[in-house]
Structure 1
Amino acid sequence: MKIKFPLIPRFALLACILATGCGAAGAMEGGFPLCMYGAATKRDLTVIKEAGFNCFLAYTQDPAVLAELAEESKKLKLRMAAYPDRVMNSPYSEKAKDWPILAWYLYDEPEVHSLPPAELEKLNLKTKTWSPRQRTVFVMGDGAAAFSYAATADALMVDWYPVPHLKTESVGYHVALVKSAAKILDGKNQRKPVWAVLQAFDWKIYPQRREPKRIGRFPTFIEIRFMTYLAIVRGAEGLFYFTFSQEGKTLDAWPERWFLFKKIASEINALKPILEKGEDVEPPAGLDPRLAVRVILKGGKRRMFLLNPSASEIPVNAEFLKDWRPLFEEKRYLDQILPGGKNLRMPPYRTLVLERGR
């Protein structure tokens, strides 16, 4: 069965994408997930935890292996996502209800496999009947698929890996699509969380139609950071990176790559209080409308995520940002960070995190 996606909701999305952000900050169940796909061993969990991540997704469906990972997760205070299929009918069925589950992972890209929405809902109902207290989630490979599937599960995920084939800013488009679809299709859960799955691999490691001349590269730090914050600006309430296991190794086997994700994790952990319990407020007036911006208030301080979601420079009027202090930068002032002197410009895909008092 080929899934057909309705067209009308796409137009409703336009206002969502152009707005400050498609989501509202607020209290989150269990906090802001910052996760790695593809953890498989106790050693993996230790590495992920030390890097600053608080959860992982395991692909194994072996109940005994998952039980070991769950036990180690409790020790490390990690949460996990895993397939429920084999666990619910195993000797671990009852114990699994007390595992530190972020969410049971129902299905990987149902639209790719032409899974009817009713079948996905059956799997969700089966899982919730077995373990009603634990959340369910599934991932889509295209935000448009959410207009068929978004009514199912307690949380939604979207994976989108644009580097280098597509525009990097397309990540935000797909997150916003899923946020929009969730609000339209799930009237019972208007605050259903959406988690973004972001690229942490080189497309060259996968077979391609253009064999043997594969195209791909590993994302740069600028791209990883941009995709991370753009997902947050568009409403993502959790982040996953795909994938920790690749090419028969784990990501930390490449120290120069692993360092990038440790740095990102450090920033997100510093921002977790506002991401989890902050309140969305209006951005400063006068900013160029082409910029992507979201401002969150908590405890008398505002944090602003300001991004250039394009391949061209965008002017920035420093007067509108005179009370804002850059975070996570080597320099303290905007004119030391951005080019242009008195006429500041945001370079393509540049990301700024700024802070000010009320």
Structure 2
Amino acid sequence: MRRTVPALLALSLGLMSCMQAPTPQPSTAAQTADTAGSAPADTQTAAPSESAQALRPPSLVPGTYGQQVSVQNAGLRVGNQGLFPFGFYHVSWMSDAATRQRDMQEMSAAGFNTMTASVINDADNARYGEFLDAAARARMYVLSEGVFESSVPKLASKPAVLGWMVADDCNLQYTPAQVRDRGARMRSLDPQHPTYAALFTSYAESHSDFFDTTHMMGNMSYPIGPGDSIGATYDMQRLSVGLSKKNGTVPVANLQAFSWGTVPGHDASDPAARMPTPAEVYNMTYQAIGAGVRGILYYTYLDSYSNVRRSPAVWEMTKSIVPEIAQLSPMLLSAEPKYLETNNGNVHATAWAYQGHTYLLLTNVSATQAQPLYVPLADQAPTGLRPLFAGRGGEGVRLSGTTLGGTIAPLGAHFFRIN
């Protein structure tokens, strides 16, 4: 899907240089006392009956908000804390400045920590810093697109700047060398922040030559409508994670929160071209988590033909995932995923060893059939099966000795602590 800023806003990026992890300087933003991102993931992995007793919910916004942003070990760091970007695309040039600011505040109020945003026109470019200041007050990070080159050095000190989006649908519109040049040009204007690009791709095509062109690489998974299985999400993000790890880039999943039926050129009467259901959104989110991504941006909060707020059930589902990702993110950013054998192509199992415990994620990518489970866990030495999140199902999962059995419901996605 093309989400390209109009030509008058396009950056003329053409300088070649080697891509290096950014080494930003601390901003002058006031520091807060929040501790988000530093608390161990398992400190809030109580059984569901205990979860409501937490003193305060976890936050996706690090207490080091506004400090230097860097890329380390294929993940983002803000100062000395990890950051798992979790939020939405916002195709701002298809709207107006007031809508962009309103939507940013709504995303922040819902607990998301990251959005993409774009300059709308010449006049907006001159005032874009005001939007970034408002985002900082809301403690929202922004990946900006279409900012005029002359403005980049002046905006680089803004605490809300997470990085710069230099190419979209890049495998459709650019060669790897062109994306690399655009990223290098942006780094010459602001050497302190990461660059970001996104692929339009299928799960069968890795486009590996793009994964060393920017510091962060998005990979789109929009299977509801065009004919792909929902399970394409896991396959595609596994490819992305492997290639990102090889190149030291941050793998970001771009996940579907729109209907293909609203996209120009697609058949709106096709019943398959629909909005994902809340269950599908939840399942795709955890497929991406199980694949090992280090960030998730849903497409889209807003563009000219789609607005997630017009689908309240999907919006509420994404909001409900925020505290779960906040709880999991310290583990996801520091522990390596281990992909387990399931002997079932519809079931994926991923384990993480973190702070003396082992955590297990199961996903069923079949939308219609419960799947039998057979997951050997001898290496994980399980001592019990404790759900992390209340109300997310998983009652059919059973631990027998060192083997996980039972069944997982259609589109089931369940996190457990197993020792």
- Which range is displaced more, 251-260 or 229-238? 251-260
Q: Could you list the runs of 5+ residues in structure 2 that have no partner in the other structure?
A: 1-71, 93-99
The whole-number CA distance in structure 1 between the counterparts of 2:291 and 2:73 is: 11
Return the offset for 1:253.
4.4
Instruction: Report the alpha carbon displacement of residue 229 of structure 1 after superposing the two structures with TM.
Output: 0.9
Query: Aligned pair count?
Result: 321
CA distance in 2, matches of 1:182, 1:139: 13
- Specify the alignment match of 2:84 in structure 1: 32
- Larger deviation, residues 272-281 vs 45-54: 272-281
Q: In 1, distance between residues paired with 2:75 and 2:268?
A: 48
**Cα distance in 2 for residues equivalent to 1:177 and 1:232:** 13
Structure-2 change in CA distance of 1:287 and 1:322 (3 Å): farther
Cα distance, 1:163–1:25 mapped onto 2, change above 3 Å: farther
Q: Cα–Cα, structure 1 residues 337 and 202, in superposed 2: closer, same or farther, change >3 Å?
A: farther
**Separation (CA, whole Å) in 2 of partners of 1:254 and 1:331:** 21
Structure 2 residue corresponding to 1:259, chosen from 308, 313, 316: 316
The residue number in structure 2 matching 1:192 is 249
Q: How far has the Cα of 1:198 moved from its partner?
A: 0.3
Distance 2:153 2:288 in 1: 35
Aligned alpha-carbon RMSD (Å): 3.1
Among 136, 140, 149, the residue aligned to 2:195: 136
Instruction: List aligned pairs for 1:67-146, cutoff 5 A.
Output: 67-83=129-145, 85-90=146-151, 93-113=153-173, 115-142=174-201, 144=205, 146=207
CA–CA separation in structure 2 for the residues paired with 1:333 and 1:209: 37
Counterparts of 2:268 and 2:339 in 1: how far apart (Å)?
Answer: 49
State how far apart, in whole Å, the 2-side matches of 1:147 and 1:50 are.
37
- How far 1:138 sits from its partner (Å)? 0.3
Match of 1:152 in 2: 213
1:345 paired with 2:410, answer: no
Q: Distance in 2 between matches of 1:337 and 1:253?
A: 39
Q: 1:140-171, CA deviations, whole angstroms, 9 ceiling, x for partnerless residues? A: 01153532311201111111200133200101
Aligned to 1:161: 222
Give the SS at the match of 2:129.
helix
1:170 paired with 2:232, answer yes
In the TM superposition, what are the counterparts of 1:192-341 in structure 2 within 5 Å? 192-210=249-267, 213=270, 215-246=272-303, 250-280=307-337, 287-288=342-343, 290=345, 291-310=347-366, 312-317=369-374, 323-330=384-391, 334-335=395-396
Q: Distance in 1 between matches of 2:128 and 2:413?
A: 38
1:348: how far off? 3.0
Q: How far apart are the structure 2 equivalents of 1:38 and 1:332?
A: 32
Q: 264-273 vs 221-230, which deviates more?
A: 264-273
Give the fraction of aligned pairs with identical amino acids, expressed as a percent: 21
Is the contact made by 1:37 and 1:242 (CA closer than 8 Å) also made in structure 2?
A: yes
1:344 partner SS: strand
1:354 paired residue number: 416
The letter of the residue matching 1:294 is T
1:45 aligns with 2:79: no
Q: Distance in 1 between matches of 2:216 and 2:141?
A: 15
CA distances 1:10-50 after superposition (whole Å, capped 9, x unpaired): xxxxxxxxxxxxxx998642311101111742221121011
**TM-score after normalising by structure 1:** 0.79
User: In the alignment, is the contact (CA less than 8 A) between 2:108 and 2:138 conserved in 1?
Assistant: yes
The question of whether the paired residues in 1 share the 8 Å contact of 2:74 and 2:244 is answered with no
> How far apart, CA to CA, are the structure 2 residues paired with 1:65 and 1:298?
44
Structure 1, unpaired ranges of 5+:
1-23
SS of the equivalent of 1:237 reads: coil
- For 1:148, give the aligned amino acid: D
> For residues 88 and 94 of structure 1, what CA distance do their matches in structure 2 show?
10
Provide the C-alpha distance between the structure 1 equivalents of 2:286 and 2:231, rounded to a whole number of angstroms: 11
Cα deviation, residue 79, structure 1: 0.7
Give distance in 1, aligned partners of 2:182 and 2:249: 18
Tell me what 2:41 maps to.
none
